[in-house]
Amino acid sequence: MAEFEEVSRKSKLHPKPTGLKLQYGTAGFRTTAKHLDHVMFRMGLLAVLRSKKTRSTIGVMVTASHNPEDDNGVKLIDPMGEMVALTWEEYASQLANAEQEELLHSLNDIVKKETIDMSQEARVIVGRDTRPSSESLSRAVFDGVQCLGSHFHDYGLVTTPQLHYMVYCQNTQGSATLEDYYKKHSQAFLHLTKNAPVHANAQRRLLVDGANGIGALKLRELEAFLQKQLLVALFNDGSTGKLNHLCGADYVKVQQKPPQGIQMEVGERCCSFDGDADRIVYYYTNSDGHFHLLDGDKIATLISTFLKELITEAGLDLQVAAVQTAYANGSSTRFLEDTMKMTVVCTKTGVKHLHHAAQKFDVGVYFEANGHGTVLFSRAAEEQIHQLAKSPDITNEKKHAIQLLDNTVNLINQTVGDALSDMLLIEAVLAVRGMGVQDWDAMYTDLPNRQLKVKVADRRVISTTDAERRVVSPAGLQEAIDKLVAKYQQARSFVRPSGTEDVVRIYAEADTQESADALAHEVSLAVY
């Protein structure tokens, strides 16, 4: 273990609090920033091993997304910009939880299990969000990488999806800059919006709540590439407010109300990012003061309808499917299946599950109701679109559709949900179709719904099946929920243990808000 001498020395500077156990959860490690220094150091080590194993660049993102400012977290990004493979999540937990004296043993164990050639070069890229703790925690990652004799590149402040994209570009094109990211997305946006009816140009004003986080900083950078074709009024830009505090996509979605710090006029289109800008939700208020939320389900509907129409107009034979979770509003599922005649798949919560399911289709549109999502095109579908867009012998009508489609592909960050690229895509679709936010909202009417969370002694006593829609244990709980649901019209409810917090989450929907609220409350009592 001579090659680990430096690890042994440096790890003493990043000591693990004895007995502390953390789990690589749905979106990596996430907890109070105070407990994460040793985890960061060790994720630096693990990223090097993963890089040697895959002979590719690996990403390490320091962020806790929508969590409070004092939390932090870290996740690893695999070679094609996707979430790290499942077995490596387990190694991550194993390495993070090894007591100080077991660290080298644990490291060696992974090297052996994966038959890693330690002489192989490694390359790790690192990014971080704007939390006060993120800078020093990312230095702990660098320490980990360096003491295995490897190189890292620090992208500094970036959104999570930007780092995913940088990993992808490094491994497919050999280089990756933020400027390339902005150029690619803005050019596709400008090409698409050139096709907008003239009156739609006047509507391209958008109010953005930056959650006082990294998304606000990066939106400012993106704006410089947009040639004033999108007029952004940015609120919660981090200059005064606290990250995610009373603002951001998660707050707006869960509270079903506007963020603080935004000044919205009736009918104005607004959106909120989350703390690392991988989620987005839209909203507006109508003339009688009602708040209307356009969440991930509405976004998926808008985008998949647009894609399906273009595919049909271009004469392509590609299957468009939508991937949702149990949180998807029942009305959205019905609209996609019954009106749009689309295949709809339901998976467990967590981006990786949706991403994998979406990969099975020519075009897979996946969105969580909370606003995290993107579109995946199979390699064959993408190739077909690019080829046809270049073909000289197609009718003008088809040509128009295929060029829109081609630019749409270029506008999408396929590695992961991306608030910036999703925002540009939504804005482009609305502009091209000459739609306002109310027209979009009118595609279907959401069923009233309510989310609650309850603290329980041990959330792991609840286990679920059928993409988290039914409880397996404790015995009797599902029957109790079924009975409660039966009391209401158009009702549905489920409970699931959170993958990011020590709570059990409850979702209920029904024909009226009163019923949805009452059902959620009654189900929460059944969980205790």
Chain residues binding ligand 16G by CB under 6 A are: 26-27, 65, 349-351, 368, 370, 372, 498-501, 505
What are the distances in angstroms from CA 132 to CA 64, 129, 138, 141, 338?
12, 9, 11, 16, 48
From residue 396, give the alpha-carbon distance in Å to each of 313, 344, 406, 429.
11, 32, 15, 20
* Minimum CB–partner distance for residue 27 and ligand 16G (Å): 4
As a whole number of angstroms, the distance between CA 483 and CA 26 comes to 31
Is 278 annotated as ligand-binding?
Answer: yes
509 lines the binding site for Zn ion (CB under 5 A): no
Looking at beta carbons only, is 278 or 297 nearer to Zn ion? Answer: 278
Q: State yes or no: residue 278 binds Zn ion (CB under 5 A).
A: yes
Q: Which does 274 bind (CB under 5 to 8 A by kind): ligand 16G, Zn ion, none?
A: Zn ion
Tokens of residue 26, six digits: 């749905």
Residue number of the CB atom closest to Zn ion = 65
Residue 16: which of Zn ion, ligand 16G, none does it interact with, CB under 5 to 8 A by kind? Answer: none
Least distance (Å) from Zn ion to the CB of residue 163? 12
Return the number of the residue (276 or 522) whose C-beta is nearest Zn ion. 276
Provide the annotated active-site residues.
65
Angle at 257 between CA 251 and CA 262, to 5 degrees: 85
Query: Does the protein bind Zn ion through residue 446 (CB under 5 A)?
Result: no
Query: For residue 439, how many other CB atoms are within 10 A of its CB?
Result: 12
The two structure tokens encoding residue 364: 């897979």
Q: Are 208 and 271 in contact (CB under 8 A)?
A: yes
Contact of residue 276 among ligand 16G, Zn ion, none (CB under 5-8 Å per partner type)? Zn ion
Q: Which amino acid is at 459?
A: R
Cα 181 to Cα 413: distance, rounded to the nearest angstrom: 9
Strand partners, 46: none
Annotated binding residue 427? no
By CB under 5 A, residue 65 contacts Zn ion: yes
- Shortest spacing between CB 366 and ligand 16G, in angstroms: 10
Least Å distance between CB 339 and Zn ion? Answer: 30
Non-local CB neighbours of 365 within 8 Å, separated by 6+ positions: 300, 303, 304, 307, 320, 321, 322, 323, 358, 373, 375
| Contact set for Zn ion, span 246-275 (CB under 5 A) | 274
User: Is residue 368 a known part of a binding site?
Assistant: yes
Give 214 or 385: the residue with its C-beta nearer to Zn ion.
Answer: 214
Contact partner at residue 26 from Zn ion, ligand 16G, none, CB < 5 to 8 Å by partner kind: ligand 16G
Asked if residue 496 belongs to a known ligand binding site, the reply is yes
Is 134 labeled as ligand-binding?
Answer: no
Kindly report the length of the chain: 528
Q: b/e string for 461-498 if b means 16 or more Cβ within 10 A?
A: ebebeebbbebeeeeebbebbeebbeebeebbbbbbbe
The helix (run of H) or strand (run of E) holding residue 20 is none
Nearer to Zn ion among residue 160 and residue 478 (C-beta): 160
Instruction: Please state the closest distance from residue 363 (CB atom) to Zn ion, in A.
Output: 24
Residue 221 counted as an annotated binding residue: no
Choose among Zn ion, ligand 16G, none what residue 350 binds, the Cβ cut-off being 5 to 8 Å by kind. Answer: ligand 16G
| 82 part of the interface to Zn ion, by CB under 5 A | no
Q: 499 labelled as ligand-binding?
A: yes
Distance (Å, whole) CA 398 – CA 403: 8
